[in-house]
Amino acid sequence: MRQHVNPLSRFFQLPLELPSPDQLFDDAARPIHLDIGCARGVCLMELAALRPNWNHLGVEIRRPLVLAAQRDRDRLALHNLHYLFCNANISLEGWLAELAEDQLRLVSIQFPDPWFKRRHRKRRVMQPSLLLAIAAALGPSRELFLQSDVLEVIEPMVALVELSGCFDRPSEDARPWRASNPLPVPTERERYVQEQGLPAYRVLYRRNHQPPPERDELEVAWQRVDNPADVPLDH
């Protein structure tokens, strides 16, 4: 069973100052894979061992999962891996803005908490401000990977990414959903979905050369698609 928390509660709205890559990794010059909503971090731990030439950062809003994952990371002495507790929509924007040019190479959001009802849309992990921060930090051809087993979760994410105009799908990928995970390690949720014979909906994006739109512009465009009843008549 998925245990998720309300990111809009007062506790999770407090901004945290996140450590820089120099403080997180033994070699900050390696490219970074950022996994947003990493849960217990098992997938990222396996990836860190398989890809020692990358730095891997998992961020998660459930503090007990982060503490447990970090203990495992310390036990295995994986110095290219770190986990941080934070609300991605509150604390990641500033951290992303401070990264060196082309330091961030891959962002993944896999099986996020299923806030699929429209009245809960502000609780979803992919909000316009976070997407714009990701788009600003990723250089051309760098990748954003999304997957979920809930259509009502991934479809608004896809709509938001495509409304931004900042990303393209690889021409060879199937539509509407990519057939396979481009990462060599599945998440725990993905393993469960596969074992149950259930579908997983995947999309891989690559950053193009388009500048990010203004936040207010993207907010209104997304609202028109995701919840048109709430769009003011003058927009």
CA 116/CA 153 separation, integer angstroms: 5
* Total Cβ atoms within 10 A of residue 14: 10
Q: Are 203 and 158 in contact (CB under 8 A)?
A: yes
The DSSP 8-state label assigned to residue 208 in this structure reads -
**DSSP letter for each residue of 37-62:** S-TT-HHHHHHHHH-TTSEEEEEES-
Q: For residue 230, what are the CA distances in angstroms to 3, 25, 223, 225, 226?
A: 29, 44, 7, 11, 9
Catalytic residue, candidates 27, 113, 149, 173: 113
Q: How many CA atoms lie within 13 A of 176 on its CB side?
A: 10
**DSSP letter for each residue of 109-142:** EES-----SGGGGGGSS--HHHHHHHHHHSPTT-
Residue 173 annotated among the catalytic residues of the structure: no
- Three-state DSSP at 143 gives strand
- Three-state DSSP at 188 gives helix
In sequence order, what are the residues at sequence separation of 6 or more whose Cβ sits closer than 8 angstroms to the Cβ of residue 223? 230, 231
Active site residues: 113
